[in-house]
Amino acid sequence: MQTRRTTPTAPRARLVGRAALGLTLALTTAGVAGCTAQEPVTTPASAEQVEVFTWWASGSEKLAFDSLVEVFVEQNPGTVFVDGGIAGGAGSTAKTLLASRLADGDPPDTFQVHGGAELADYVADGRLRDLDDLVVDLGLDRTLPASVRDMVSVDGTVYAIPSNVHRANVLWANPDVLAAAGLEATASFATLDDWFVALDAVRATGRTPLALGSTWTQVHLLEQVLLAHLGPQGYAGLWDGTTDVAGAEVTAALADFERLLGYTNADRDSMDWQDATQDVIDGDAAFVVMGDWALEAFEEAGDTAPTEVLWATAPGTDGVFDVVVDAFALPAGAPNPDAATRWLRAVASADGQTAFSNAKGAIPARSDLGTAQLGTYQRAATTAFRADTVVPSLTHGAAVSTGALDAVTAAVGRFTSGATTTTTLQAELALALR
C-alpha cells in the first residue's frame, strides 16, 4: 500500500479545462444559467426541457455536475436543462423528496440513483423503465465492465445508465499536521493498529486526529472498519448472510469503531462530509475517511489547501475497491422521456464520462476510454478498479436495501450519540441485516 500525493491546483476551471476535453466550469449557455431548483425557468413554448433530479446541489459536487451539464447542453442546444438538485445528507434529503414525488405521480424526467440494492428497490416498486435497448444502441453492452453492468441491472435487465465509479475506502491526510506531530507524511497504514499510533501522536499536539461528520459519515467510517476486520469475503458476507453479524469478528470491529470515535471532533453531528474534509484542508484535523469525491474539495481549496494532499486506501483495506456507482434512471411516467433519453446519452458519452470523472474525483464507468485525459488520482483509481477485489458500499446504496440502510443508520446514530453500547449496536445491526 502506497501513499499517493496530489498537488492541489488553483482554480477549478484550470483543472477541468486541462483534463476534461477543454470544457470550462462556467455555465455560460443561456439555457443553463439560472436553471436551478429554486429559480423557475421560463422557456419558449416550442422548447423541450428535461428536469434532472440529483443530490449534487452544492460545493464541489455541484461544480462537478455542472461539467456534465455543459456536455449535455453542447450536445443538445435545443433542450432546456432544469436542475432539480436537492442538497444534504449524502442524498437522504433528495431521496425522501423523490419518493414523495414518485408516490404522487409527479416524477422528474430522470434522477440520480446508486447502483446496486438502492436501484433494485425502485425496480421492485415498478418505478423505472428498462433501458436494455438504449444500452445496446449506445454500445454499453460491450463497454461496461461486468461489475458495473451488474450494479445497474436487476435480473439481467438494465435500469440505469452509469455516469461514473467512485471508491469509498480512501483515507485523506494533511502532511503539515502530521509533521507537527512528528509523523512521516503518509496516509498509508497496513492495519488499524498502525493507524491508532499516528492518531495518538496527533492528539498529543492538541489537534483533531480524525475529522468526522454527521450520522451517514459515521456509517461510512464503520463500513471501512468492518471491511478492515472482515476482509472482502467476510464483509460481503454481511449482505448475503454468510457472515454472522453477531459473531466475534464484528464485535472486534465495533470495539475499534468505538475507539476511533474517541479521536473525532466533538461537533461531528452538526457537520457534513464537506465540513469534515475542510477541517483537514485547513489543518485543524489530520485525517478524514471519505470516498474519492473528496478529491475535488481539496482541488477547489486552491492556495488554502496543503501543498500536498496525501491519500491511500483506508487502513486495513489495501487491495479492495469499495465501489459506489452513480447512475441515472428513466422513471415510468416521466413527462419528457425523449429529452430524458438525450440526457442519458450525454451521460454515457465519452465526453460526458471523461469530463464528469475528472471533475468529480471518480473514474468513467465505461472500460473503453483511455486514461490519458484523466487526472493523476483517476489514473491510479482506474488501475485499482481493474486489479482489486470489488465490494459493494453499505453507506452508498450498493449493498443493502434502503430500508436496511435506514435501520443501520438509525442504530449507528443512537450509538454515536451515547444512547447505546456496542453490544446493543451489534444486536441492532444483526436485526437490520437479517
* CATH number, residue 60: 3.40.190.10
The residues, ordered by sequence, that sit 6+ positions from 168 with a Cβ below 8 Å of its Cβ are 220, 223, 224, 291, 322, 323, 324, 393, 395, 396
d(CA 39, CA 82): 10
**Residue 203 backbone dihedrals phi, psi, to 5 degrees:** -60, -35
d(CA 287, CA 310): 9
Q: 290-338: per-residue pLDDT in tens?
A: 999 999 999 888 777 787 889 999 999 999 999 999 999 999 999 999 9
- Domain membership of residue 380 (yes or no) is no
One domain for residues 246 and 351? no
d(CA 225, CA 228): 5
User: How many domains does the structure of the chain reveal?
Assistant: 2
* Cα 363-365-370 angle, rounded to 5 deg: 65
- Domain membership of residue 382 (yes or no) is no
One domain for residues 210 and 275? yes
One domain for residues 139 and 263? no
- Domain membership of residue 404 (yes or no) is yes
Question: Given the C-alpha cell 461514473, which residue does it identify?
Answer: 164
Confidence (pLDDT) at 3: 60
State the cell numbers at 171: 483515507
One domain for residues 191 and 160? no
- Domain membership of residue 2 (yes or no) is no
- Domain membership of residue 280 (yes or no) is yes
Confidence (pLDDT) at 38: 39
Q: 66-109: per-residue pLDDT in tens?
A: 999 999 999 999 999 999 999 877 788 899 999 999 999 999 99
1 by DSSP, 3-state: which? coil
State the cell numbers at 68: 456534465
Q: Structure pTM? A: 0.89
One domain for residues 315 and 207? yes
pLDDT over 50 at 1, yes or no? no
**C-alpha distance from residue 375 to each of 60, 137, 356 (Å):** 16, 29, 11
- Domain membership of residue 383 (yes or no) is no
What does the mean pLDDT of the chain come to? 90
Q: Sorting pLDDT into bands at 50, 70 and 90, what band is 381?
A: very high
Question: Given the C-alpha cell 444500452, which residue does it identify?
Answer: 135
One domain for residues 299 and 419? yes
Confidence (pLDDT) at 4: 57
Q: Which of 332, 349, 375 is the last residue of a domain?
A: 375
- Domain membership of residue 384 (yes or no) is no
* Cα 68-108-130 angle, rounded to 5 deg: 85
One domain for residues 128 and 180? no
Which residue segment(s) compose the domain that 24 sits in? 8-166+324-375
Mean pLDDT of 18-46: 34
38-47, 118-127, 160-169, 367-376: range with lowest mean pLDDT: 38-47
Contact 63, 25 (CB under 8 A): yes
One domain for residues 244 and 136? no
One domain for residues 243 and 289? yes
Q: 399-418: per-residue pLDDT in tens?
A: 999 999 999 999 999 999 99
One domain for residues 341 and 229? no
One domain for residues 22 and 130? yes
Q: Which residues pair with 80 in a beta bridge?
A: 49
Contact 362, 148 (CB under 8 A): no
- Domain membership of residue 385 (yes or no) is no
One domain for residues 18 and 57? yes
